[in-house]
Each structure stands twice: as structure tokens, then as C-alpha cells.
Amino acid sequence: MSEVKLYTLELTADELYIIRAGLDYSERKNKEEILDYRKYPERAENEDFKKWHVEEIETTMILMELREKLYNA
């Protein structure tokens, strides 16, 4: 198991706004791609697409957690 490192960053309000906007955009894009994937179930047989799908879901979950932490800060 890998070690979890915690970091403390100081951000200006403008920097925080830009980070939140970027996370919102990335999350929205990933959700659209995941919904598109679900729309075409025949793609599930493609090995490359399966790998992409799993990675996208993991990335989206991480982005959602990070976004939640930032909004609750």
C-alpha cells in the first residue's frame, strides 16, 4: 500500500476559482464521456475501451472528491 502524503497550499481566491472551474469542466466532460460509453454497450467488448472506461471512472471519482474538499474549504 502506498503512503498518503498531505500537503498544505495557500491559494488566492482567484486561484481557487480557477481550480474549481477546471475541476467542474473536467468532471462534466468525464460524465459526458461515461454516459456516451453507456449509450453504446457494444463498445464494452473493445479491450482498449474497457481500460479507458475504468480509468475515466476512477479519474472522475477522484475529481469529485477533490472538488468536494475544495468547496467545503
| Domains of the chain by residue range | 23-71
pLDDT of residue 20: 83
Give tens-digit pLDDT for 13-60.
888 888 888 888 887 887 777 777 777 767 667 676 666 667 777 777
pTM above 0.85, yes or no: no
Tally of CA atoms within 13 A in the half-sphere of 58 that contains its CB? 6
Residue 1 has pLDDT above 70, yes or no: no
Q: How far apart, in Å, are the Cα atoms of 18 and each of 26, 60, 66?
A: 12, 18, 14
